[in-house]
Every structure is written in structure tokens, then in C-alpha cells.
Amino acid sequence: MSGDHAWGTVRAAVLRTGIGVGVASGAYAVSFGALGVAAGLSIVQTCALSVLVFTGGSQFAFVGVVAGGGNPLSGAASAILLGARNGLYGVRLVPLLDVRGGRRLVAAQLTIDESTAVALANEDRRPAGQLGFWVTGLAIFVLWNLGTLVGAVAGSAVGDPRDLGLDAAAPAAFLALLAPRMRGRTEWTAALLAAAVAVVAVPLVPAGLPVLVAAVVPVVMVLQHRERPYVAPSDESGHGEGGR
């Protein structure tokens, strides 16, 4: 009986977390829907991005490039670069989820930052980790797509987005996604160098390509430091090998 009670407590906590994350993501999706329409996409196109791509960072990156007048192919390339991390999440989640067949395809689509975080936070108790993944992933998928539809419909009723300054909202939203990751010297160095490269590339290449050129910067940094031990941002003190 005590074991059942303990599992009930864990299950309730995981459900609250997963659904709560889903609600928060759904609210944020309203802004994506509005920004997608403001960038020139139709309601159907904006909603299709949320259904098929289903990863916020990549979606905002695509919309940001299109809103800036860039080629959609350049936007897609930027989105793919950002979405590649989900493949690494999948490798980490394979032993925990242990899914096959059609369920594996569904799990692949639901593998995003939030579902991975909730699953791995509970991986010491496998059923809880599996529950966390599915509840969080499904809740976000449903509410993210619903929020996108609401935002797209509302955005289409605004008229010319430039009248309200919404043409600059997509890049601003992407910066808001980036800001929480800027926690240490390495992150700031990569960001500033990439920004400088992008600024230099603007007059030299077509719209949308500067961001791809700038993506070379973090790749080079990773290759240069791949043999060095990682130092957490909180541990950086400016001394020794990790401080340089």
C-alpha cells in the first residue's frame, strides 16, 4: 500500500509539471502565431510550421529570417541547425523510453527541450520518466498548436504589421529565447563574435545568409576546445585553463 501511495504522489507531481509546462508553452505559442502572420506567412503556413517542425527555437529562427526579407531556404537551414540538438536528446532518451514501431515516430516528434528535461529529471524512476516525457510532449504539442492558431487568427486581423512595429517582433522574440542561455564567458564570446561576423556579412551575401555564415563561429570554437574539460559558468573564475 505504501508503494502505491508513493507512486501516486510521484505520478501526480509529474502530471502537474508536464501539464504546467504545456500551458506555459501554449501561451507563448500565441506570440509565434502572430509573428508568423506578421512575417508574411498565411494562417495555414504558420500552423503547419507548428505541427511539422514543432520546436520553438527553430520556428522563431525561420520566421525571423523570412521577416527580414531572407530566402525561406536560408530560414530553413537556420531552423535545421537549431533543431539538430533534438537528435542528441533522442539518443539520450532511447534507453529510458524503449519505444518501437509507430510509437517511436511519435516519440521522435515529441522530443524537444521541455519533454526531455521532465523525462530526465525523473529517470531514476523509469515509469515516472516515461510518464513525464509523454505527458509533457503531448500537452505541449496540443497547446502549442492551439496557441499558434489563436495567435495567427488574431494577427491576421491586425492589418499591416509594420504599422504596429510587429515586423521587428520576430528577431526580438528570438533574442528573448537566446538570453537565458547567456550564462558565461564562453557563451558571450561566441555570441559577440558571431554577431560581428553576421554584421560584416550583411552587405556581402543575400538576406538570410549572414546568420548561416555566423554559425561557423561556434562550430570553430567547439572544434578548438573539444579536448578541453568543460567548465560550468558558475565555476568560471578567470583563473587557470578554464578561465581563458
In the block, cell 561566441 appears at 190
Please state the pTM of the whole predicted model.
0.70
- For the chain, give the percent of residues with pLDDT over 90: 33
Q: pLDDT tier at 226 (50, 70, 90 boundaries)?
A: low
- For the chain, give the percent of residues with pLDDT over 70: 78
DSSP count for the chain of H helices, then E strands: 12, 0
User: CA 164, 170, 173 angle in degrees (round to 5)?
Assistant: 110
Determine the pLDDT at residue 243: 42
What is the mean pLDDT of the segment spanning 207-222? Answer: 74
Q: State pLDDT tens for residues 46-81.
A: 999 999 999 988 898 888 888 777 778 878 887 888
Distance of CA 136 to the CA centre of its chain: 15
What is the mean pLDDT of the segment spanning 171-177? Answer: 60
Buried b (16+ CB within 10 A) or exposed e, 63-95: bbbbbbebeeebbbbbbebbbebbeebeeebee
Determine the pLDDT at residue 136: 94
Determine the pLDDT at residue 240: 44
Does position 241 have pLDDT exceeding 50, yes or no? no
Distance of CA 10 to the CA centre of its chain: 27
Q: How far apart are CA 234 and CA 244, in angstroms?
A: 14
Calculated CA dihedral for residues 20, 24, 25, 31, nearest 10 degrees: 170
CB 88 within 8 A of CB 146: no
| More confidently predicted of 156 and 50 | 50
Phi-psi region for residue 165, left (φ > 0), alpha (ψ -120 to 50) or beta? left
Buried b (16+ CB within 10 A) or exposed e, 113-146: bbbbebbbebbeeeebbbbbbbbbbbbbbebbbb
Q: State pLDDT tens for residues 79-125.
A: 888 788 899 899 999 999 999 999 999 999 999 989 999 999 888 88
Average pLDDT, the chain: 81
Question: 242: which 3 cell numbers?
Answer: 578554464
